[in-house]
Amino acid sequence: MKEEIKLNPSYNRIYAHGHTYWEGPINDGIDRGNKSYFCPVGWQRWSFYVTDNFDQKFKGWCICYHGTKFEYGLSILLNGMKPAKIKALGDGVYTTPSINYACHPRYAEVKPIFEAARKIFKSGAYIQFVLECRVYPNDIKRIGCETLRFKGARIDPNIKNEAIEWVIDHKNRRNLDFNDPTSPIICTGVMIRVTDDHPGLLPESQWWYQSHICGKNKCCRIGINLDLLQRKRQSETICNIIYD
């Protein structure tokens, strides 16, 4: 088990117009494998220190995301990732190249920000987080379709629904330790989105309502009564992303 998580603040980013922003696949000369990297608009990255010479050691590794509930997030960071047992696409660690898919509340819970935390997240009312990871491309053993019974057109304008889940080969290990240099997946940071109202009101979240969503805490942790959220949607309540 790790004793601490080291931060690497010089790589912290805000992904938004006027901050770090690009359209389409990034073209910055860094080799991130055979997969495109799109701007995770609306999210902030708190970057972790992984190793010196990161770009050299992880040349050709692809960026992906893993959405998880708050209580599991810290455990993952300290203990590594447990491969999923019974999942739609077989055993392995489930990741996605789409942050908009990773943050569905089935995966990444929506958490109300209470008074105490307001000092950090000033005008925020809700927060979500997902883990930013790098995977070794040859260890993506399966690329598959979304598994939230989505009935609409597109979850992410940049990524096809049929290629939105990446199953990472866990090589029969019980745990994938991010400190292990032979691990096929490493965690490079935590992606955070703070909003002044419920993130289920954001335009990019409207696909949730054409997929599986429920108010059961064990399943979709939405941090609000689902009927109340639906009423807010019907009254066209505006939700803003907060970057301060």
| Cβ 144 to Zn ion shortest distance, Å | 20
Say how far apart CA 97 and CA 62 lie, in whole Å: 9
Residue type, 91: D
Q: Which residue is nearest to Zn ion (CB)?
A: 219
Contact 122, 242 (CB under 8 A): yes
Site of interaction with Zn ion (CB under 5 A): 214, 219-220
Contact 45, 84 (CB under 8 A): no
Closest to Zn ion by CB, 107 vs 126, is 107
| Cβ 147 to Zn ion shortest distance, Å | 12
**How many Cβ atoms from other residues are within 10 Å of residue 57's Cβ?**
12
Closest to Zn ion by CB, 120 vs 214, is 214
Contact 165, 147 (CB under 8 A): yes
Closest to Zn ion by CB, 68 vs 188, is 68
Closest to Zn ion by CB, 220 vs 224, is 220
Say how far apart CA 170 and CA 83 lie, in whole Å: 6
| Cβ 213 to Zn ion shortest distance, Å | 6
Using alpha carbons only, give the angle 93, 96, 97 rounded to the nearest 5 degrees.
Answer: 140
| Cβ 212 to Zn ion shortest distance, Å | 6
Maximum Cα–Cα distance across the chain: 51
| Cβ 109 to Zn ion shortest distance, Å | 11
Closest to Zn ion by CB, 220 vs 229, is 220
What secondary structure letter does DSSP report for 241?
E
| Cβ 209 to Zn ion shortest distance, Å | 12
The CA-atom distances, in angstroms, between 34 and each of 21, 31, 68, 239 are 21, 8, 25, 35
Closest to Zn ion by CB, 6 vs 216, is 216
